[in-house]
Chain A
Amino acid sequence: AQSVAQPEDQVNVAEGNPLTVKCTYSVSGNPYLFWYVQYPNRGLQFLLKYITGDNLVKGSYGFEAEFNKSQTSFHLKKPSALVSDSALYFCAVRAKALTSGTYKYIFGTGTRLKVLA
C-alpha cells in the first residue's frame, strides 16, 4: 500500500540548534513530496515541495528538505531552530491512485516540533 510515515510523534530541540523532522514514503512511480506546517488553531501552510531536480529544496521560514531516493526519505531540516517554529508538521506525497489512476495526496500523521528557549 502507498503510505507516508513520520516515525516521531514529537521532536524537542533547543533554540539555536539544528532540527530534523523525519519522513519516509512508499509509493509507486516518481512522487511529488511536500511539507506543511500547522500552527495552533490555524490551517495548514505550505512550506516546500520536491518535484524533480536538485535533491535539496529550500522553502519558507528557512526550512529545507532533502530528497533521498534510495532511502525513500524526505526529511525536513533547519540549521537553527526558533521558538516560533514550534508547530505540527506534516509530510505529504502525491501519488497515482492505483485503482482510479487519478492523483491522490497521502499525508503522514504529523510530528509535533517543540523548540525550547
Chain B
Amino acid sequence: EPEVTQTPSHQVTQMGQEVILRCVPISNHLYFYWYRQILGQKVEFLVSFYNNEISEKSEIFDDQFSVERPDGSNFTLKIRSTKLEDSAMYFCASSSREGFSGNTIYFGEGSWLTVV
C-alpha cells in the first residue's frame, strides 16, 4: 500500500537553529499538507500546498515556517529559527485531490522535533 514517508523520525535541535523536515508524499498525489501535534494535544493544521504554492495556512504557520517542493517527489517544512514551543510531532500528509467530496488525506508517521 502506498504511504507517505517522513524523515527524520526524531530530531533534537537547539533553540534558534533552522530545521528542515522532509516528506515523500504518495506518488500520484497532488495536494500536500503539514500538521503538528504537541504532546497530549490535538492534531493541528499548519498548511496545505498545491501546484507549487500554499493553498491555505493556519495562524500557527507564521513567517518562521516555510514549505517547498524542491523536486518531483519531496515536500519539505522549514522552521527558520526554532523556539521551545515548536517541540511537537510534525505530520506530512497528501491527497489526490482537494477537499470536500469524499477526499481522503493520508498521513505519514511523523517527525518528532525536540527543541532544547
- Are A and B associated in one complex? no
Seen from chain B, the residues whose Cβ lies within 8 Å of a Cβ on chain A are none
